[in-house]
Structure 1
Amino acid sequence: MPASQRRLWLIGGTSESVQLAEAIASVDLPYLVTVTTAAAKSLYPQTPNLQIQVGRLNGKQIEQLCQQQPITAILDASHPYAVEISRIAIATAQRFQIPYLRFERPRVEGDGGDEGGFSNIRVTTTENSETRPYKSVRAGFEQTLSSTAKPNSLNPPLQRNNQPGVITLDSFETLVAGDYLNQQRVLLTVGYKVLSLFQDWQARSTLFARILPGVTSLEAVIAAGFSRDRIIALRPPVPFELEMALWRHWDISLVVTKASGVAGGETTKRQVAAQLGIPLLVIDRPVVTYPQQTSDVAVALEFCQRYL
């Protein structure tokens, strides 16, 4: 295929994808960026070599895109929790033998230790998980789990984590099936798509939701049973001082977030949780088997140049 017809597909929608788009533009490579909202389009560089397509893509549309452009390499910089687009892109890449590289947002790791009355724990649903007693500084969160606890009990087995006060769960299903939210004042910073899972907890806890400003997210949070005085619409990153003020204003006793990395505000939430002595429940990233991945922009750029 002539070099003039080759085009890279950059799966966008994250701050990392904007950074990658700028790097690709700097070396004059032809590429297509796909985003799901019109608002995201304005974040990318304006260059003759860049095409931007707005809208969600299903499997058939992705196949058509790869054939019509035509796409000779895929750089996936989608959100860590946007697993559907990644899985479809991987399957399409394998079917048409297109090189694929996942650009994975770095994880946030704790600094270890044990202070402030918290234990370092990780919750999974595996039979062989190690269990350890723990006690929270919050009265409503105090409990001890014995080594004989069953994975399907209210609170599944625990494994050591690496930051005081942070509890990592493997899924939202584990969270809502357990007893973690009971009688708590909970701030949910998890996106609007999963808020319906918390409807049954509205009567047993006081739930607050922070969402992105937008009609779709606002409609979803109201449909999930949140009253207007328990909703705040903010676009991240949220500054440390504002994050702390919000938790204090609502007298939050437990915060739920995703393992979304620095760009998703995870570091700030960990810092505020440690400062205020509030437990932080982190929902781990979904498991996706990527053919190859990197968190290095230079490596990603070399990949793009190799196939264009």
Structure 2
Amino acid sequence: MSQPGGSRLWLIGGTRESAELARAIANRQLPCLITVTTPAAQSLYPDSAFLEVRVGRLGEATIGSFLQQAQVSHILDASHPFASAISALAIAAAERWQLPYLRYQRPELAPPQSPQVVLTSLESLLSSDLLSQQRVLLTLGYRWLHQFQPWHGQSQLYARILPSPEALAAAIAAGFTAKTLIALRPPLSLELEKALWQQWQITTVVTKASGKAGGEDIKRQLAEQLRVRLILIERPAVNYPQQTSNIAIALRFCQNPTPHI
């Protein structure tokens, strides 16, 4: 395969921050290809002659042809903090084809206070007894729900998922029912979050350390207020060659993808 090359930015999207970046990129009239994994995520982005949004998953077998056909010249990775697979794929591709890469990393919140629990992985939670005999609300996304199937008999599980057919089908397959599911797109207001926790008499909430944009700050505040145990799963460790949490720096990279920030 020939060397990928072109003059178009590849924005790895699917987050609110990526939508903010996309609007600024369009305003600067920079050609940009945005990739997302679900049709619902397309609605995040404005209509613009400078933006193209593609839906689908990329893999090692398709990344080279994708970069070439899309005429990618540089990569801005604004994917979700837990979307480590696409980040790793983009980093490897950038290194192989010598394309400038920058990770826009959603800012992390300060370390939480008691009664919150921070765990390094989902596996460490599932191998513990933290969920035993609890009324548990899972706000982890539908892809992890199947791993909680053995816990349906040991605790009362509830789940909040995205309002999509794919998420609903996965949740039902994982043993959840109409009485134990609610489909809402985050982040939720504190009032709505509180009403949900109280309606289901939640004693433990499991969520990802996804930052303010994912509603982590509201969950922390509410956990303190209601004395509910909040279990946070840490972000996966990814060795980003370049990263920033500054939108302005990310936009400068879009216009001038120099090797160093």
Length-normalised TM-score, structure 1: 0.80
- Measured in 2, the distance between the counterparts of 1:32 and 1:304 equals 12
Residue 199 (structure 1) aligned to one of 149, 166, 171? 149
Runs of 4+ in structure 1 deviating by more than 4 angstroms, as ranges, are none
Unmatched 5+ residue regions in structure 2? 1-5
Distance 1:42 1:190 in 2: 22
In the alignment, what sits opposite 2:109? Answer: 108
Letter in 2 for 1:238: L
Distance 2:48 2:186 in 1: 27
Q: Which amino acid aligns with 1:188?
A: L
Determine which structure has greater relative contact order: mean sequence separation of CA pairs < 8 Å that are 6+ residues apart, divided by chain length.
2
SS at match of 1:257: strand
- Supply the AA of the counterpart residue of 1:245: A
SS in 2 for 1:60: coil
Report the CA distance between 1:242 and its aligned residue: 1.1
State whether residues 294 and 300 of structure 1, in contact with CA within 8 Å, keep that contact through their aligned partners in structure 2.
Answer: yes
Q: 2:206 aligns with which of 246, 256, 263?
A: 256
Structure 2: how far apart are the matches of 1:239 and 1:230? 20
Percent of aligned pairs with the same amino acid: 55
Single out whichever of 21-30 and 251-260 deviates more from structure 2. Answer: 21-30
| 1:251 aligned partner, one-letter code | Q
Q: TM-score, normalised by structure 2?
A: 0.94
**Native 8 Å contact 2:137 2:202 kept in 1:** yes
Tell me the distance in 2 between the aligned counterparts of 1:45 and 1:21.
Answer: 8
Q: Partners in 1 of 2:212 and 2:59 — Cα distance?
A: 29
Structure 1 unaligned segments of length 5 or more: list them: 111-161
Aligned residue number for residue 44 of structure 1: 45
| Alignment root-mean-square deviation, CA | 1.3
**Partners of 1:109 and 1:163 within 8 A in 2:** no
- 2:127 counterpart residue number: 177
Shift of 1:267: 0.7
Residues 76-115 of structure 1 show CA distances to partners (whole Å, capped at 9, x for unaligned) of: 00111111111111111110000100001111225xxxxx
SS of the residue 2:136 aligns to: strand
Structure 2 residue aligned with 1:278? 228
Residue 300 of structure 1 aligns to a residue in which SS? helix
Residues 120-142 of structure 1 deviation map (CA, whole Å, 9 limit, x = unaligned): xxxxxxxxxxxxxxxxxxxxxxx
Q: Which amino acid aligns with 2:49?
A: P
